[in-house]
Amino acid sequence: MSRKTKLIRWTLNAAAIEFGCSVKTLAGQIKEYGILCGDDDKWSTSQICQAIFDSSYEQRTRLVREQADFKARENALGRGEVVNVDEFAARLKVPLEAMKLCVIGSLNISQSEKDEILLALADLWRAVFDDKAPTNPKAREALKAAKAKS
């Protein structure tokens, strides 16, 4: 005795109600996955599940990856393998300010030389912490020499 199974076909409204999501969300996921409706303008249960659950799986996977990346950064910081850029910059501000005051207070350097040194220091700061290439020729030379030494 053969039994014929009736296939369930879903409209967006019926599927959204049954699966507890908004029509807009479901339509967006169907479109995102490129799922096409049948000739009857409806979708199979399998297609609806793909749209709803594949999206949820991807979101959970993305969240788990983000959490793992965050924990890896935390662990690397704890082991001293990397440094926090904001903390590092804050620690360098005092010595940099002291260097600037030494240059400004120096009696053996002309004002134009002081200005040039201060511009080079500012340019080096931007190169290191803002990831911008130095525009000042002396800063470029100093950075190149420092990289060659390390």
Average pLDDT over residues 82-110: 84
**Are the C-beta atoms of 117 and 111 separated by less than 8 Å?**
no
pLDDT band at 2 (very low <50, low <70, confident <90, very high): low
Q: Are residues 73 and 13 in the same domain?
A: yes
Last residue of a domain, one of 18, 45, 79: 79
pLDDT band at 16 (very low <50, low <70, confident <90, very high): very high
The whole domain housing 35 covers 9-79
* φ/ψ of residue 38, rounded to 5: -80, -175
Q: Are residues 13 and 71 in the same domain?
A: yes
C-alpha angle with apex 129: 67 to 138, nearest 5 degrees?
Answer: 155
Query: Could you give the residue ranges of the DSSP H alpha helices within 1-150?
Result: 12-19, 23-33, 45-49, 55-79, 85-105, 111-129, 137-149
Q: Are residues 16 and 75 in the same domain?
A: yes
Q: Are residues 37 and 97 in the same domain?
A: no
Q: Are residues 73 and 89 in the same domain?
A: no
Q: Are residues 71 and 89 in the same domain?
A: no
Total domains, the chain: 2
Last residue of a domain, one of 33, 51, 79: 79
Which tokens is 18 given?
């049954």
Domain assignment present for 4: no
**Are the C-beta atoms of 52 and 35 separated by less than 8 Å?**
no
CA distance 150 to 142: 12
Last residue of a domain, one of 20, 53, 79: 79
Q: Is residue 51 packed enough to be buried (19+ CB in 10 Å), middle (13-18) or exposed (0-12)?
A: buried
User: Within 13 Å, how many C-alpha atoms sit on residue 38's CB side?
Assistant: 13
Confidence check: pLDDT of 133 > 90: no
pLDDT, tens only, 46-84 = 899 888 888 667 778 888 899 999 999 889 888 888 888
Q: Which residue has the higher pLDDT, 62 or 41?
A: 41
- Residue type at position 38: G
Confidence check: pLDDT of 1 > 60: no
CA distance 59 to 74: 23
Q: Which residue has the higher pLDDT, 5 or 76?
A: 76
Q: Are residues 75 and 102 in the same domain?
A: no
